Amino acid sequence: MDLFEKCRQPSLVHELRKNNIYPYFHALQSKQDTEVIMEGKRRIMLGSNNYLGLTTCPEVIEATKEAISQYGTGCSGSRFLNGTLQMHLTLEEELATFLKKEAAMIFSTGFQSNLGIISAIAGHGDFILSDKENHASIYDACKLSYARTYNYVHNDMEDLERLLKNCATKGGVLIVTDGVFSMTGELANLPQIVKLARKYGARILVDDAHGLGVLGEGGRGTASHFGLDDEVDIYMGTFSKSLASLGGYMAAKAEVIDFVRHTSRPFIFSASIPPACCASALAALRYLQAHPEIVSRLSALSNYARSGLIERGISIMEAATPIIPIFTYDTYNTLLKAKEIYDAGVYLNPVLPPATAPDACLLRMSCMASFNENLIDEAINMIASKMVDKACVKSL
């Protein structure tokens, strides 16, 4: 059989295109902001992970321009060899200080961060216990690690303990969880995870991609939110969300960072993030530290949006983050509603299997600190006008 035969087979993608409800690769023609021009029309952007709105912050933009002038457009090599800038080291130092860890290191992308960390830390003879709703990068990292991996039922601490009992005496154990689960905005049960890790001698990695800048003291993330900064062994996160750039990071004890620097193949054999990305992430981090009130503003606007949706008869899943899931359940209904809302002038993310269970599809709405209440009202009025069939949206 021709290797490419699979590319010609009928698929959901073909069906969606035929029915004019294909929801992906809509092209932006403006900055990533609260209002964008997408495919020639104004849309209110309620589908971005730009939680603090810093992609348009003047200080961040200016720092990015200056970095290009000083360093050029790229590093042309890996961090291991010729691709380390002084600015990379500065960003790592300031990240470590901000997150109250001994050291930090940065990767080229957030996805690569999980690949690079987990595959270096866990190997043959070790065990990884991973929440079933963790990000796809964690699943791929576990495969790359060669450690034995078991997925525990989402946020089910009894199931996690069952696995810990079976693994803890047989090798090193790493518990891996999203801090904020990206589709629902739900928080990991970190207090209980910490208790179990202490009991069984396991280590903890928290993927805080959606927690940094959103939760905790000054936006320090999920562990800070629970007062458990010192209890998480490894923080992982990205620059592509609250820090308005591209790249990822790891923060941990200095000895752990040094080990990963010298053993992580995804880190060693990838080019470093370019000067512009490094400078924008550093400027965004500094802006967050200088303006911690932006985190409170984001929370207030997110709560305002939740209340507005509920007042208009749209049931949502409650959470303590800017992520607001509107459940639409089956695939076709989700895509139809996403298309109608998009055509009305609001961009939301339709979320389908395998990112959700087959009967738990949703429209993922997310807020930014740069919104105002009037714009949120305009957007949710548009959403409500298209959610006529209230039976398709119910609370979980």
Contact between 188 and 181 (Cβ < 8 Å): yes
User: What pLDDT tens digit does each residue of the chain (396 aa) get?
Assistant: 899 999 999 998 999 999 999 999 999 999 999 999 999 999 999 999 999 999 999 999 999 999 999 999 999 999 999 999 999 999 999 999 999 999 999 999 999 999 999 999 999 999 999 999 999 999 999 999 999 999 999 999 999 999 999 997 889 999 999 999 999 999 999 999 999 999 999 999 999 999 999 999 999 999 999 999 999 999 999 999 999 999 999 999 999 999 999 999 999 999 999 999 999 999 999 999 999 999 999 999 999 999 999 999 998 888 889 999 998 988 999 999 999 999 999 999 999 988 888 888 999 999 999 999 999 999 999 999 998 654 343 333
Please pick, among 88, 101, 135, 210, the residue that the annotation labels catalytic. 210
Whether 210 is a known active-site residue: answer yes
**CATH class of the domain at 58-290:** alpha beta
Q: What is the pLDDT of residue 388?
A: 60
From the list 241, 270, 366, 370, the catalytic residue is 241
Cα dihedral 299→302→307→312 (10° resolution): 170
- Phi first, then psi: give them for residue 73, nearest 5 degrees: -95, -20
Per-residue confidence (pLDDT) for residue 64, from 0 to 100: 97
The per-residue pLDDT for 389 is: 53
Parse the chain into domains and list their residue ranges: 5-55+293-392, 58-290
Which pLDDT does position 322 carry in this prediction? 97
Catalytic residue among 137, 145, 182, 272: 182
Q: What separation in angstroms does the CA of 350 have from each of 33, 103, 161, 301, 340?
A: 19, 37, 34, 22, 12
In the β-sheet with 361-366, what is the strand arrangement from edge to edge? 323-329, 361-366, 349-351
- For 130-189, the DSSP string reads EETT--HHHHHHHHHH-SEEEEEPTT-HHHHHHHHHHHTTTS-EEEEEESB-TTT-PBP-
* 241 in catalytic set: yes
**pLDDT confidence of residue 117:** 98
Active site residue 291: no
pLDDT of residue 390: 44
Q: Which of 341, 394, 330 is nearest to 365 (CA)?
A: 341
5-55+293-392: CATH architecture: Alpha-Beta Complex (3.90)
Q: What is the pLDDT of residue 148?
A: 97
| Contact of 94 with 286, CB cutoff 8 Å | yes
Tokens standing for residue 279: 């400078």
Q: Are 392 and 383 spatial neighbours (Cβ–Cβ below 8 Å)?
A: no
